[in-house]
Every structure is written in C-alpha cells, then in structure tokens.
Structure 1
Amino acid sequence: MQRYEELDSLRGLAALAVMVGHFLMVFTPIVQNTSGLSFLDYPLNLLKYTPLHAIWGGHEAVIMFFLLSGFVLSLPFFSNRQQNYTKYVIKRICRIYIPFLVALIIAIVMREAVYVSKLTDLTTYYNELWVAPPDMSSIVHHLLFVGNYNSTRYDPILWTLVHEMRISLLFPFIMFAIVKGGWKIGLPLAIVLSYGAAIMLENIETRYMTNFVVSLHYASFFIVGALLAKYQKPLRAVFSKLNGWWAALLLIVALCSYTFKWIGYGEDFHDRFMPHGGDWMTAIGASIFIIAALSSVRLSQQLQRKPLLFLGKISYSLYLYHMIVLLSLIHLLNGELDTPFIVMLAFVASFVAGALSYYFIELPSIRLGRWLTSWGKKPSVAVGSSGERSVSS
C-alpha cells in the first residue's frame, strides 16, 4: 500500500503546534482575551488573532489529526485490502491504547513523585492541573473510555485519544457506507453527525470533553478524511493544474479558513459560526493542506525532509508526553528557575521523551499488533500495516 510520508510530516507539525500552544499557555498574556486591543496597541495580538495562530493552534491541530486518521484508516477499504474486524481492533488497541496506557501510568507516577502543592503563580489553566490526587474511579474511567469524565486530570491531552479510539472502533462500519455511496452518503452523514451532536449538546449536561455525543461530532471529520482519500486523484489533479499564484492564493485561503476561530474573535459574524461551524471552517482549511501536500511537488519535497519525517515519526509520543514533561518540571523546578527557562527546558526534554517513547513503546506495540494478527498467514501474502503507519494515527 502506498506510503504518504508528506502526511506523516503534517501530523508531526500538528503535534508540534499542540505542544507550542500548551507551552505558551503558561504565560498570562497568551491566555488573556485581548481581542479588543488593536495590533498597534498590543502587538502580541498578531500571534493570537491572525492566521499566525496556526503556529500554536492546538484545537485546529486536533481537527487535522482526525482528518488524517480518517484518510489513512480508509485506504485499505478503497483498495479492498481491509482486514477482518477482530484483527483491525487488535491493531488499533496496540497502536493507540498501549502507548496511551503507558503514558497514563507515567503521568500518575510523576504527579505523585513531584507534586507538592497547588501552583498559584501561573495561569488559571496550569494552576488547576494535577491538583486532585489519583483515585480508583478516575483511573477506571481513563482505562475504559466510558462516561463523561475529566480526562485532563493526569495528562490534559488524553481527551482526544478517547474520541480517536471510540471512533476507530466504529470506523469500519462507517466505511461500508462510504465505499458504496461515496460523497453522496459520506458528506451528508458527516454533516448530520456534527450538527445532530450540536443539537443534542444543547440539551444535555456536557461537563467534560469526553462525552459520547462529542465523539459523534468528531466522527464527522474522520468521514471527511476518508472522502479525501477516496477522491484524492481528482482533487490532486485540480490542484496540480493551478499555476503558482493561484496555488499560493488557495493556500492563503486555506490558512485563513484553518484559523477562522481566531480571525475576528468576538465579532458577531464570527460568533455565528461557533463552535461546530468553526470546526468545519478549520476542516476545510486542513483538507486543502492535505491535498496540497500530496499534489505540490515543491511542498511535498519540503515535507519529506528528514527533520520533518522524524517529527512525524515521534508525533504521537510527542503529543502524549509533552504535558507530562512540562507539568513535572514546573512542579519540580518552580521557585528554582524562572518560568521561561523551565518551559525551554521542557521543550527540549519533550523531544527526548517523545523519541524514547517512539522507539521503546510505540514500535514494540506496533510489532505486537502485527504478531498477534499474523498467525496463520504465509509471510509472502501477509498484509503489512504500512497503510496505518503512513501516518501515526
């Protein structure tokens, strides 16, 4: 199955944006609502309320993650090489759940090892993290992905993996409809799931982001990713026909769409799109980026540079561990070093943790999944997981 290294790099860049965003949120000027100030009066707003927000847009990156997951997981279905459901689930558990489980354990251990007291000199977001000690009920919720629970308690990024795993388990059933009906079924289904979820969310209690209804909303972007994979050839052909200026203009439009939530923040026209309409604007921009990455020779070459490919390889582990590293160092070194130095130290240490996790946890987990699903197969006809591994879903 064809390998899309460009998409590995896109996922790596998205994971980096999440990390940069979380690290910047340590500082009060970043999290304050300063949208009422002009760029001249408050130059930092250029980073906050313009397309430059893509550099540290965490939620936007999550939408990109879901699109890429849908794209990659759908490929075997379109080439008629899908595995039976049991083997698919085993590989998903090994690929997503085992690294998640190890990270959860490490987060709990680090919290117990370094936590002394509640922080009071950082932003409200960080002052409230790791405050509650571990308890069995919370741990069981984390292990089973069941219920509407606080998934930020130990590692604040875990909420996205709850949706990733839930949707992955249902994805093969969704793909039957998309393979047969294409966009005529897939696109309406995605819209119904997203806006149906929005209606339900208005009438039920959703204290935390792990609500099952929220999973329906994010499933819509898995579907869009699958549709991008199904129609990639005609979409790539259209992009390839654009001359340099039109291609550049389309990418600018994509960037503005991707960061729409922050352009005109607080204005009436903007608020009418929130929250789910804003996610769809982000998805449109991210979809264009995906097609551009596969279509543009120049962009593809840049995305296949070794540093970006390495970033793509460790992207899942970087995503899992950067907050654990940051919270550990903040609690360990608070009062010993200035906060900016702690953040810079955590930035470097996160890459080390991500690389170690990739080589010693992720890769063994992937090999375990292959081994568990390879019994009874002849080596010459065994179906590898290159489809799943083309992007670290």
Structure 2
Amino acid sequence: MPKLAGTSDNFEREWRNNSHDQKGKRRESISNNLLSVCIVYSLAFQLNTQSHISTTPTSNYNFEMPEARNIPVELSGHRFLEFDSLRGLAAATVVVGHLMYLYRPVTPIARWLYLLPSNFLLAGGSAVILFFTLSGFVLTLPYKRSKHASYLAYLVKRFCRLYLPFAAALLLTVFIRAHSPSPVVIGQDWLDGTWNTPVRAHDVFYQLTGVGNFNPYLFNGVYWTLAVEMRISLIMPAIAWLALRMRFSIGLAASLLTAGFLTWLAPHVSHRLIPVTLRYACLFLNGALFATNFDLVGAWWRNRSSVVRSSLTIAAVLVFGYASEAVHTYSLLQQALSLASIVLMLNASQSRAIRHWLHRPAILHAGAISYSLYLTHLIVLLWIVHTFWGRMHALYVIPGFILASFILAEFFHYSVEKPTIKLGRFLERLVLLRSLVKPPSLVR
C-alpha cells in the first residue's frame, strides 16, 4: 500500500492498525446483531410452540422438566421480594378502598376519586385478583424444581401459613364484636350486614371450619377470600401439574373458557360454593402458567419496544382501576384483571428501576405485614364505625383508622403470623424427616 502523503511511518502503521480494528469491530457487530436476531426469533418461536414435557413423574408430585424450560438461575434461590412489595401495596389499596367506600356516598371528593384514573389506588376488588394470581405464581415455583416437598408437607406448611393466622384473626374479631357497642346502620350493605347480629357459637364454628353455605361476611367482609384460597390450596399441586404441561397461550385460553362455563353453572347448582371456588382457581392457574413460563414470557417482554411496554402497562393500570367495582360479578373481568396483574408483575420483575424502588425497606416491610394488615384492618374500621359513627369528624377518623390499622397489623404480624410461619417450617421439616426414615424390618 502506498504511503499517505504528508504522514510519517508511525502514523501509517497506526492508521493500518486502526483500519484493521474497525473492520474487526464491524464484523463482530454484524455477527452480534445476527445472533441477537436469532435469539429473539427463537424465543418468539418457543412462546408459540409447545415444548416437549416428560409425563413420567420421578416421584410423587415430582415432574421432569426439559432443558429448554428448566428453572432459571434467578428462580432457583430468589424469593421475588418485588412481588412481596406488590402484595403489600395491594393490601394498602384494600385498606384505603374500604375507607373510601365508607365516605363515597356522602363525600363528593371520594366519588371523584373513583371516576379519575387515580382509582387504581382504591381498587380493593382488583387487589384480590392480584393476590390470587400472585399465590398461583409463588405456589407453583417449587414444582419447577426436580425435588420438592411431599403433598403432606405442603399441606402442613400451608395450614400453618394461611389458616392459623386466619383463625386467630377471626377469634379476635369475634371477641371485639362481642364487646363492641350496639350495632349501627349507616345505609351501606357491605357494612350493615356485618356485626349487626348477635355472636352465636354455630356461626363461629362454620366460619372456622368453612363447612356449609355460611355467610362469609358475617364477622369480616374480607374473610371470604381466605375461605376460597384455603380450598384452592388443597388442589394447588394439581393446578401446578396442569401448568407444567400447558403452553402459556393455550393455558390462558383454557382458563378463560373454564371460568366462563363455571360462571354459567353456578346459578344452576344447589351448592354454588364449588363452581365459584373453581372459577377463582382459574386465576391461580394464570399465575401458575406465568411461573412455568417465566423465562420465556420475561424474555418476550424485554424484547418489546418501550412504546409497547408502556402501552400495556397503562392499559393494565386502567383495567385495574376501572374494573374493580364489578370484578366479582363477571368472569371476563376477572380474567382481564389477572392478565393486568401479570403485566404489573412483569414490570416489577423486569424493570430495574421499578424493581429497585420495590426493594426499598419501607415497601418491603409493607409486603412483610401485608397478610396481617389484610386480616385485621376491617376489625379496626368496624370498631370505629360502631363506636364513633356520627360522633367524630372524618378528618379524625381517616388518619386514626390508617394509623390504628398498621399498629394492629404490626402487633399481629410479630405475635401471630411469624410464630405460625416458624411452626409451619418446623412441622414441614419434621414430616420430611419422618418420610426419610424407613421402618425397621421385622425379624422373626
């Protein structure tokens, strides 16, 4: 190559080296782009193509997963703290929503809050759907691993985690109700039907055992969701088994069709509790499908443009807010809210900024006490209504209720919830150890 005019030998050698480096970088860039395109199209193909799954269990309730759908590294030891924070924020919306329900008929500001897009902050009904979808996700994760606890160990741990705090909260509700002032009627059905009948032993028994066609709103209006979740927990391994063997899109379609059929069936059967419970089980199935396809759906989400992700997020927030009023009436709205919940979960897990914000200590703590807050906040609200209704201005009731709700939730979390969690882990280990010990052979 001829020398460049006006340049030295050193500069020529430097120019040759730079030219060679630039060609190498261009070749590397082209190969990286081709590789990225191949990865994106392969992920899109996997999302629309059913993976082969072995149907032969390795042991009771153990499933073999193909290599393409192995549990990602982040799921193997990750607790998804951001989802705990989501649960805490959802519990806070239930608290604020119940408070606004109280004042909506008499306060124009409360009515406007439900009409504006800010209504997602008050969407307690939508928060329940998020709870169910989150539970389906979390309870399915162990079944993606090669080894997990037996069904008996799962039931023991779930009983301690879910039922024992519920039973303690119910007994606390009954005690405070028995010692509260005379019932009041404020003209709102969701409150007037609660705490306005004498405490009877058989009603407490039905609430504790969940048997019969009892009134779940008799003592606390949120306890019906616990009855539903405890029943679904009994069949959760079967739901996880289905999710492990279904393609994400086909599973969502099957969930929608099944929920619609169960909604139609409920008025035609004598025991409506069964089809209603199974309809909510479809929401657990949606969360389970998201868990089994987390890596693929997450990759699909990350490869969408910011415009697509923002549009889906805005749509999810609007559905979350405006569908809350009639969510427990129409199965289609429940399914739409479950999909909106998955979009919110994708934002929480795939966006570094949102994930970092959800990992703030205060929000994480709200997630830690979310179950206690959900169980006890209506106890505070009902006591305030029956004690101070018509005697105290709303400006004092609102901060007093919120402060007292969080104080009671803190007390309940540390005195009841955490000990029952430790008890559940201890009993789970005990069941697992007993299953590993073989009985001695009989010697003649």
Which bin holds the TM-score, normalised by the shorter protein?
0.7 to 0.9
Is 2:102 aligned against 1:26?
yes
Give the alignment's TM-score, normalised by structure 2.
Answer: 0.75
Aligned residue for 2:397?
342
Compare relative contact order (CA 8 Å, sep 6+) and give the higher one, 1 or 2. Answer: 1
2:308 to 226, 231, 246: 246
Residue 3 (str. 1) matches residue 68 (str. 2):
no
Larger Rg: 2
User: 2:381 touches 2:401 (CA, 8 Å); kept in 1?
Assistant: yes
Question: What does residue 277 of structure 2 align with?
Answer: 215
Aligned CA distance change for structure 1 residues 189 and 80 (closer, same or farther; 3 Å): farther
SS in 2 for 1:29: coil
Please list, as runs of the form range in 1=range in 2, the aligned pairs for 1:364-379 lying within 5 A after superposition.
Answer: 364-375=419-430
Shift of residue 230, structure 1, vs aligned partner: 1.1
How many angstroms apart in 2 are the aligned matches of 1:337 and 1:43? 19
Q: Summarize deviations over 1:350-376 as a string: whole Å, max 9, x none.
A: 101111111111110011011112127
In the alignment, structure 1 segments of 5+ residues that lack a partner are 32-41, 266-270, 382-393
Alignment-mate amino acid for residue 155 of structure 1: N
Residue 181 of structure 1 deviates from its aligned partner by 3.4
Aligned to 1:115: 181
Structure-1 residue corresponding to 2:354: 299
Give the counterpart letter for 2:233 in structure 1. Answer: S
Find the counterpart in structure 2 of residue 155 from structure 1: 220
* 2:149 and 2:432 in contact (8 A); partners too: no
Q: 1:28, 1:122 within 8 Å by CA — same for their partners in 2?
A: no
Answer with 289-298 or 146-155: which moved more.
Answer: 146-155
SS of structure 1 residue aligned to 2:198: coil
Paired residues, what number? 358
**Deviation of the 1:321 alpha carbon:** 0.3
> Considering only aligned residues, what root-mean-square deviation do their CA atoms show, in Å?
2.5
Task: Confirm or deny: 8 A CA contact 2:369 2:410 kept in the other structure.
Answer: yes
Which of 343, 353, 363 lines up with 1:288 in the alignment? Answer: 343
The C-alpha deviation readout for 1:267-315, integer Å capped at 9, x for no partner, is xxxx9x9611111121121110011111011111111111110110000
Matching residue within 138, 163, 169 for 1:72: 138
- 8 Å CA contact 1:321–1:350 kept in 2: the answer is yes
- SS of the equivalent of 2:120 reads helix
Q: Distance in 1 between matches of 2:308 and 2:257?
A: 33
Matched, 1:94 2:160: yes
**TM-superposed deviation, 1:5:** 0.5
SS of 1:146's partner is: coil
CA deviations over 1:320-346 (Å, ceiling 9, x no partner): 000001111222333542244223211
Equivalent residue, structure 2, for 1:275: 330
Unmatched 5+ residue regions in structure 2?
1-76, 437-444
Which amino acid is 2:234 matched to? L
CA contact (8 A) 1:330 1:342 kept: no
CA distance in 1, matches of 2:109, 2:198: 40
Task: Quote the Cα distance in structure 2 between the aligned partners of 1:194 and 1:236.
Answer: 26
Scaled by the length of structure 1, the TM-score of the pair is 0.84
The one-letter code sitting in structure 1 at the alignment partner of 2:178 is E
- The letter of the residue matching 2:425 is R
Separation of aligned partners in 2, 1:45 and 1:347: 20
Alignment of 1:182-197 (within 5 A): 182-183=247-248, 186-197=251-262
2:229 aligns with: 164
Tell me, yes or no, if the aligned pair for 1:260 and 1:278 is still in contact at 8 Å: no
Report the Cα distance in structure 1 between the residues aligned to 2:258 and 2:381, rounded to whole angstroms.
35
Shift of 1:50: 4.2
Cα 1:44–1:18, aligned 2, differ >3 Å: closer, same or farther? closer
Partner of 2:120: 54
**2:386 paired residue number:** 331
Q: Is the CA contact (8 Å cut-off) linking 2:180 and 2:387 kept in structure 1?
A: yes
The whole-number CA distance in structure 1 between the counterparts of 2:203 and 2:246 is: 41
How far, CA to CA, are the matches of 1:161 and 1:375 in structure 2? 26
Paired position in structure 2 for 1:174? 239
CA distance in 2 between counterparts of 1:49 and 1:204 reads 37
Identity of aligned residues (%): 30
Q: Which moved more, 1:159-168 or 1:230-239?
A: 230-239
